[in-house]
Amino acid sequence: MRSHVQTLEVETGAFRVADDGPRGAPMLGLSNSLGTPLEIWAARPTMRAA
């Protein structure tokens, strides 16, 4: 599995964006509150397909 973090710059500011997971898998979008770092997701549990 590959992980890619990049900065997305827009007119009103910049956002750090993480792209994790296998290519071709369904996308699941998660968002943290504005002003909090991506690192809050570091402790996320591993999800497994049933």
- The span from the first CA to the last CA of the chain, in angstroms, equals 19
Instruction: Give me the pLDDT at residue 14, please.
Output: 85
Q: How far is CA 47 from the centre of its chain?
A: 14
DSSP string, 1-50: --EEEEEEEETTEEEEEEEES-TTSPP----PPTT--GGGGGGPPPP---
Q: What is the pLDDT of residue 32?
A: 76
- pLDDT given for residue 34 in this prediction: 76
| Residue 46: predicted pLDDT | 67
What string of pLDDT tens digits covers the 50 residues of the chain?
556 888 889 999 888 888 888 888 898 887 778 777 777 777 666 666 66
Q: Is the pTM of this model over 0.85?
A: no
